[in-house]
Chain A
Amino acid sequence: MSDTNRNRLMLVIAIVMAAIYLFPLYWMFITALKSGSEMFATPPSFWPSEPQRSTYAFVWESRGMGRYLWNSLIIAFGSVILITVLGVGCAYVLARYRNVWVDIGLFLILMLQVLPASLMITPIFVGFSQLGMLNYPRLAVIIAIAAKSMPFFVVLVRATFMAVPQELEEAALVDGNSRVGAFFNIVLPLARNGILVSAILIFMQAFGEFVYSKSIIQAVELQPASVGLNSFMGPNTNEWNNIMAYATIYVTPILAIFVLLQRRIVSGLTSGAIK
């Protein structure tokens, strides 16, 4: 087989794989536009004959999506801010000091990452309940998410910091800056891309977080969109178009952010984001 044919075959395989992978997303978008009868038609239609745009407005109103998304945003931003503020310092120390204690710390951090949320939720719930944190459920979820996602952030940002040459910091020290000053003036600006990318990834995780929110937040008016979507679906649900419309409204902004920034996200993760 010649090289060109080989490349064509690879391309075809890639396209087929991508199609399989993206099919659910496509199905979500078109189902949201279908009418009730078309949705259950056999054979199924792959393009809605009469797109029902009104579904979106109806779902937004009837489910109170504004409030759900607002809660999701609060939880996501809260988690990102908490993780960034705490995690950047942690990652910096882990990047710059090498000794046994740092290795132990790193190991523990990675251990935390291994534990699944569904396992962690019980002890967290009991602990929060005794501390009275359940009276501030969104804050409780933010703290729980921060604890869960911090390791991921720290590991990524640590790699970014390690890519900033130590000589730059030393040059800043000799030039007359203090260690803290050198960190804020030199290291932080150079690590900015990596930190930003990691923060965006954390944001996307937190925006879709379900387990903690579902368990900790009882009051409907404080629940995020992920929990709202779950309560939309019951055992006898048949309004799939409405659910898909909900899902579309929920994920499209995130997808858009990812598509717009994907080049920077990928390069930020791989290059250490120095140049």
Chain B
Amino acid sequence: MTKQIELSGVNKYYGAFHALKNIELSIEKGSFVALVGPSGCGKSTLLRSLAGLESISTGDLKIAGELMNNVPPRKRDIAMVFQSYALYPHMTVEQNLTYSLRIRGVPKAEAKKAAEEVAATTGLSQLLGRYPRELSGGQRQRVAMSRAIIRHPKAFLFDEPLSNLDAALRVHMRKEIRTLHDRLGATSVYVTHDQIEAMTMADHVVVMKDGVIEQQGAPLELYDRPANRFVAGFIGSPAMNFVPAVVGEDGRSLAVDVGEKQTITLDRQLQPGRRVTAGLRPEHLHFVEPGQGVFRLPVGIVESTGSATYITTATAAEVTIVETARRPVRTGDIIDVSIRPSDVHVFDGESGLRV
């Protein structure tokens, strides 16, 4: 597979503010990459640097093998879908779609044909004569997408394109964007703060925080083997439980502090006496018969969504448990839960790195 976008040693400063710190990222042709992280983590800055709307301070940025550091956006051959869609309000849908073609001097008839073809695939055929203000949110979103795909760019950049849509439409568009990506064989970079979007859509997820790439890899790899506490807490919903723990004297068990000391066994050998943080995913904690669990926990809050029950314990370090079987659990009950040793994540108490 060839590299479509390569970033090496990229830094970006705004005056004294260090917005991107030593970014190393290579994106393969045809892959769908999600940049995810909390707001202000630098993911949008990174995307805008790819587009050429921001310049990078140091490092190299290559698109399709060509150095792009100082190339203006119009010569990078990339397309971008903005959060606000940024449709030209004074142009009809058709004019919006063909704008990039008209600038490049494509003959009118040809541009019109291209617009009709794209509109047919995105379901906009009936709307070509309308103005953006006459469209619904979902339709505007489609126009923004169509405007990007009409010219077959080297890469698609998406800047939180679904955040202005309601929940149901968002789930629908998620699939639609991914389908479109596969059909076009495109290379896409997708910025989002929603880890579900990143996990479901992308082949490769890049988790960022404070301008640093915390971890990158396949979605399930990030879920199964988070590199540090931040990634562990960011990926997965509801978020992973973190409880302070100390490695037992045999090195194969953890003394976990959830109100009272409890012990869980590990499937690996650690340095005895080491202070660590245990990471327990809510969905990995299972109910067991009294006396057979590794935890005895008092129930604090019970929230039921029908498909699953979210139980938050009344302990010092709160633990959330997701239970899909319906059990009559009430506030104040004492429940027994267990976890498979292989599902226990252990992070260093100080650095937060995976142990």
Contact = CB atoms under 8 A, between A and B. Distances in A.
Chains A and B form a bound pair: yes
Interface of A: 165, 167-168, 170-178, 181, 186, 189-190, 274-275
A168 B89 CA distance: 9
Contact of B86 (A171, A176, A177, A181): A171
Interface residues of B, number: 24
B74 A173 contact: yes
A174 B103 CA distance: 11
Contacts of A168: 86, 88-89
Interface in B33-82: 51-53, 72-74, 78-80, 82
Contact of A175 (B83, B89, B90, B99): B99
A173 B133 contact: no
Given A171-B88, A175-B103, A176-B100, 5 more contacts: A165-B84, A176-B74, A186-B88, A190-B90, A274-B89
Secondary structure type dominating chain A contacts = helix
Given A165-B84, A167-B84, A275-B133, A174 B79 contact: yes
Contacts of B99: 172, 175
Contact of B72 (A165, A171, A178, A189): A178
A176 B88 contact: no
B74 A177 contact: yes
Specify which of A172, A174, A177 lies most central, judged by the most chain B CB atoms within 10 Å of its CB: A174
Contacts of A178: 72, 74
Contacts of B51: 170, 174
B53 A170 contact: yes
Contacts of B12: none
Q: Which of B51, B73, B78 has the most CB of A within 10 A?
A: B73
25 contacts: A165-B86, A167-B82, A167-B86, A168-B86, A168-B89, A170-B53, A171-B86, A171-B87, A171-B88, A172-B88, A172-B99, A173-B52, A173-B53, A173-B73, A174-B51, A174-B79, A174-B80, A175-B79, A175-B100, A175-B147, A176-B103, A176-B104, A177-B103, A274-B89, A275-B89
Interface string B78-116: 111011101111100000000110011000000000000
A45 B340 CA distance: 104
Given A175-B99, A181-B103, A275-B133, A170 B74 contact: no
Nearest to B53: A170
A174 B85 CA distance: 13
Nearest 5 pairs between A and B by C-beta? A171-B86, A175-B100, A167-B86, A173-B73, A176-B74
Interface string B118-157: 0000000000000001000000000000010000000001
B206 to A, nearest CB: 21
Interface of B: 51-53, 72-74, 78-80, 82-84, 86-90, 99-100, 103-104, 133, 147, 157
Nearest to A173: B73
A98 to B, nearest CB: 12
B73 A174 contact: yes
A110 B247 CA distance: 69
A173 B100 CA distance: 9
A275 B88 CA distance: 11
A174 B133 contact: no
B87 to A, nearest CB: 8
A274 B72 CA distance: 27
B99 to A, nearest CB: 5
A177 B99 CA distance: 9
Nearest to A164: B89
A99 to B, nearest CB: 11
A171 B81 CA distance: 8
A189 B90 contact: yes
A190 B89 contact: yes
B229 to A, nearest CB: 35
Contacts of B80: 170-171, 174
A201 B236 CA distance: 59
A181 B105 CA distance: 14
A178 B133 CA distance: 26
A34 to B, nearest CB: 51
A168 B88 CA distance: 7
B158 to A, nearest CB: 12
Nearest to A182: B74
A172 B103 CA distance: 10
A59 B53 CA distance: 63
A174 B53 contact: yes
A275 B87 CA distance: 12
Nearest to A192: B90
Nearest to B75: A176
Given A175-B99, A176-B74, A176-B100, A170 B86 contact: yes
A275 B89 CA distance: 7
Nearest to A168: B86
Contacts of B52: 173-174
Nearest to A181: B103
A165 B85 CA distance: 11
Contacts of B89: 168, 190, 274-275
A186 to B, nearest CB: 6
A167 B90 CA distance: 15
Contacts of B86: 165, 167-168, 170-171
Nearest to A178: B74
A176 B52 CA distance: 11
